[in-house]
Structure 1
């Protein structure tokens, strides 16, 4: 079974290309693909395989036509509620705090909380993302916060490309009937995003790998 595996950040630089080809036996599992790709990782780096844009368990069986991506630790560290609005975007141009706050305006809301994560102390940061996976992951994270905290709306935007000193790399905005829920919802979104969303940043020539993502429930799925 021939499969193509997408590479990102430092793995892409180490391989000198954005994709690699693997020849795996029929019935191969995620663990087999990771073993075949282990040579691409620096010593001690944990890797995760994304299958069809979702983080995969080691025992998950691979099939011809699966979309595979080798995910190094990301640089951070539920269905949408029917009555809430959720907006997510990955952009290669400057982000607007005013615009994202406007996206969560709601007549039911007595509180709007925003978070503005910026480049600091260095002239710039370079960001890369697995965009096709990142936006669904951001939507899942925002949707879970909406449901858990009863938010009226949630919005998340993240930059890719070069982000200069003082510019925003990630914005979060939420609205809720009361301020405790709004603060909790915004905090949850940014914290989980840093742990799970497939974004990577390069600072002063080095990729930062800080958090190893895992499948949502952390348990292995059964396979035939």
Structure 2
């Protein structure tokens, strides 16, 4: 099926045009369309709209749909989110920069680090894990009225004292910031298909919900 992707501001300038035509398989989502233009979207916190209605990455597209991909509006009312599964050290400073917002009176970060052992090894069903983390972050923003939220989980070997997961959130007030950060990390641990090996043994810590 064919969909139109509308581009604005910096994305339009990078592409040198204001629209792209994409051929996608039936059942494709907004995330699939974004994957096709990921080089244009580097470093941007994106807002999505399908047929002029705000949408999420999980929104299913249909033939003839118009997907608008825009950076946060200049009025500052966007709620940017970021989620990633990475095979490199996680930069807390980068996540803090992603949640910086003039409306925020509180910023909370959480880092889960390797302790007691020389290293931990992490493996993930990366595509599903990233989508699940993105959904968790988006839902926490909506539920707690956060200004912004970001989370990254690392795969591969994570040495003693290094972070395997980092969450950052910003909110107008500290109760919402603490609640939002706690929800994001707790749900990542419970729901994201990421697997940990400690001293040669794969740990089975929780069964993700299937409903």
TM tier, smaller: 0.5 to 0.7
Residue 185 (structure 2) pairs with residue 203 (structure 1): no
Structure 1 runs of 4+ aligned residues shifted over 2 Å read none
Distance in 2 of aligned mates of 1:92 and 1:143: 23
Residue 152 (structure 2) pairs with residue 157 (structure 1): yes
Distance in 2 of aligned mates of 1:209 and 1:79: 31
SS at match of 2:102: coil
Tell me, which stretches of 5 or more residues in structure 2 are unaligned?
1-27, 29-54, 58-76
Structure 1 residue 99, shift from structure 2 partner: 1.3
Distance in 2 of aligned mates of 1:133 and 1:188: 19
Distance in 2 of aligned mates of 1:99 and 1:142: 16
Aligned position for 1:113:
108
RMSD over aligned Cα, in angstroms?
1.7
Aligned position for 1:127:
122
Distance in 2 of aligned mates of 1:177 and 1:100: 18
Check conservation: 1:79, 1:144, Cα contact below 8 A.
Answer: no
| TM-score, structure 1 as length reference | 0.60
The aligned runs of 1:1-224 (5 Å cut-off) are 79=56, 83-215=78-210, 218=211
Structure 1 residue 96, shift from structure 2 partner: 1.0
Distance in 2 of aligned mates of 1:161 and 1:172: 18
| TM-score, structure 2 as length reference | 0.63
Distance in 2 of aligned mates of 1:159 and 1:182: 23
Structure 1 residue 79, shift from structure 2 partner: 4.4
SS at match of 2:88: coil
Check conservation: 1:128, 1:201, Cα contact below 8 A.
Answer: yes
Structure 1 residue 83, shift from structure 2 partner: 2.6
Distance in 2 of aligned mates of 1:192 and 1:154: 14
Name the count of aligned residue pairs.
139
Structure 1 residue 198, shift from structure 2 partner: 0.5
SS at match of 1:146: helix
Cα offsets for 1:50-90 (capped at 9, x unmatched):
xx9xxxxxxxxxxxxxxxxxxxxxxxxx948x831000111
Cα offsets for 1:135-191 (capped at 9, x unmatched):
110011011110100001000000000000000000000000000000000000000
Tell me, which stretches of 5 or more residues in structure 1 are unaligned?
1-51, 53-77, 219-224
Distance in 2 of aligned mates of 1:144 and 1:79: 10
Distance in 2 of aligned mates of 1:129 and 1:140: 17
Which structure carries more relative contact order (alpha carbon 8 Å, separation 6+)?
A: 1
